Amino acid sequence: MKGDTRKIVQMKKKGINDIDNEITIYKGLVGIYIDETLISYIDGVNGKLFYRGYSIEQLVENSTFEEVTYLLIYGNLPTKSQLDKFKELLIQERDLPDNILSILKSFPRKTTRIELLRTAISALSLYDPDDYDYSEEANIRKGIRIIAKIPTLIAFAHRIQTNQSFIEPSNDLSLAGNYYYMMTGKKPDKEFEDIFDKVLICHADHSINSSTLSCRVTVSTLSDIYSGITSAIGTLRGPLHGGANETIMNQLITEVKTSKNVIPWAKKRLENNLKIMGFGHRVYKTWDPRAIILRNLLKKIYKEAKNGELVEKISDTGHDHKNDDYSFEMIEILKDYMIETKGIYPNVDLYSAGLLHSLGIPIPLFTPLFAASRSTGWVAHAIEQLANNKLIRPRLKYVGELERKYIKISKR
Ligand SMILES: CC(C)(COP(=O)(O)OP(=O)(O)OC[C@H]1O[C@@H](n2cnc3c(N)ncnc32)[C@H](O)[C@@H]1OP(=O)(O)O)[C@@H](O)C(=O)NCCC(=O)NCCS
């Protein structure tokens, strides 16, 4: 540390412009506004979230994922005929080019599903009929194709990886219902379809989170929208962001195992300065409203699980619900412990993990599912960014040495 300070002083003596005490560093861009948006608003103090001015609670209660997708992209709720047309478009665009299927089949087995998705989206750009048309209309068409194809991509990639046959989408189901069906092989009943739809709505947008920032940075160079979404997926997969849901559920199942182990496990992690995924947030300093919504849904499912109705309904994930503590119980103990001891609240990932697990979604699909939903927000943000673009390019304060003397390799 002392050495670093000395170097900076030396550089200042040399009159280097940027090495200047006036520079304020906002590490991690904490608290920085990089632009204005009309897409979503987070009130981190009061735990509120709005998409295009509508509260998340209202949308979860009354809307569907298709309608929310329309809202986020176009800015207003659709009329009945606009929505019908939009749904039809999503159905028309959901199939994958044969070459993409061949690529999916060629990927190494045991690759994480989110990596498969990232790579496949990048490849998909090569088959887009709008090709190198970068107009807003073409970008919207490309964005809708991406949103429509992601569920098929994830479901097919997962089934290839697990040596199962493809399940063609059914025309009787919504996007959420079909997605569930193509992944798990089980047609959800109306209740499950609705819950799954609500999970997708909850993840659809969240202002300038890390993956959305990546997307906006990429398109701000006037690169294409597929590159924006590919960057975003790569960013989402980290456990500090969308990968948190898979990490916490894997830990609950493989490390914690039963309710009585929750507190000792959490205590040990915190003593070792390790984070507990599914808790904390850069913006919310109270309950994440999405966590509240998903918790209520999970509570309902848990009741069904307790009296044995749930096992009948879900697809077989290989997780034996009969002989262990249900994830809800473990999650609730963890939630109370974290709030009481650290004052840190659950975020959306904790309860989406519990809920998706209860719904029978295989854990490797949790983060891709987040991506499927968030692709809607990414597309809306890419379009907003390009409508009034400014290259996103912050600075880093250099704190290393300058004017070092180059020594020929033979003399080092
Ligand atoms: C989301 C997250 C990255 C936000 O981080 P941030 O705004 O940079 O805040 P920090 O990581 O600096 O956390 C602030 C303090 O709270 C603690 N903290 C935050 N989240 C924590 C968690 N999940 N487990 C344990 N401690 C946590 C930090 O250790 C830090 O403590 P310190 O001040 O004593 O060093 C962070 O809360 C986190 O890593 N959570 C777990 C991952 C997760 O669930 N991500 C999904 C987000 S939707």
Per-residue tens of pLDDT for the chain, all 412 residues: 333 444 444 444 444 455 556 788 999 999 999 999 999 999 999 999 999 999 999 999 999 999 999 999 999 999 999 999 999 999 999 999 999 999 999 999 888 999 999 999 999 999 999 989 999 999 999 999 999 999 999 999 999 999 999 999 998 899 999 999 999 888 888 888 999 999 999 999 999 999 999 999 999 999 999 999 999 999 999 999 999 999 999 999 999 988 999 999 999 999 999 999 999 999 999 999 999 999 999 988 887 766 656 555 555 444 455 444 567 889 999 999 999 999 999 999 999 999 998 888 899 999 999 999 999 999 999 999 999 999 999 999 999 999 999 999 999 9
CATH class of 65-238+377-387: mainly alpha
**Domain 244-358: which topology?**
Cytochrome p450-Terp; domain 2 (1.10.230)
29 lines ligand 1 (CB under 6 A): no
Q: Are 215 and 381 in contact (CB under 8 A)?
A: yes
154 lines ligand 1 (CB under 6 A): no
Query: Ligand 1: which residue has its CA nearest to atom 28?
Result: 275
The residue type found at 71 is L
281 lines ligand 1 (CB under 6 A): yes
For residue 369, which of 278, 277, 245 has the smallest C-alpha distance? 245
Sign of CA dihedral 201, 204, 207, 209: positive
Dihedrals phi, psi of 47, to nearest 5 degrees: 65, 50
Q: Are 267 and 339 in contact (CB under 8 A)?
A: no
Q: How far is the CA of 129 from the centre of ligand 1 (A)?
A: 43
Q: Name beta bridge partners: 41.
A: 50
Dihedrals phi, psi of 389, to nearest 5 degrees: -80, 145
Query: Ligand 1: which residue has its CA nearest to atom 13?
Result: 280
The residue type found at 220 is S
323: tokens are 């002989």
CA distance linking residue 242 with residue 203, whole number of Å: 10
Active-site annotation holds for 281: yes
Q: Which of 203, 281, 357, 381 is the catalytic position?
A: 281
Give the position, in ligand 1's atom list, of the atom nearest the Cα of 28: 8
Q: One fold for both 65-238+377-387 and 244-358?
A: no
Mutate to test the pocket of ligand 1, among 246, 344, 367 (most ligand atoms within 8 A of CB): 344
Task: Give the domain ranges of the chain.
Answer: 2-23+397-411, 65-238+377-387, 244-358
Q: Which of 206, 349, 357, 381 is the catalytic position?
A: 349
275 lines ligand 1 (CB under 6 A): yes
Q: How far is the CA of 371 from the centre of ligand 1 (A)?
A: 21
Task: Please count the CA atoms within 13 angstroms of the CA of 296 that sit on its side-chain side.
Answer: 10
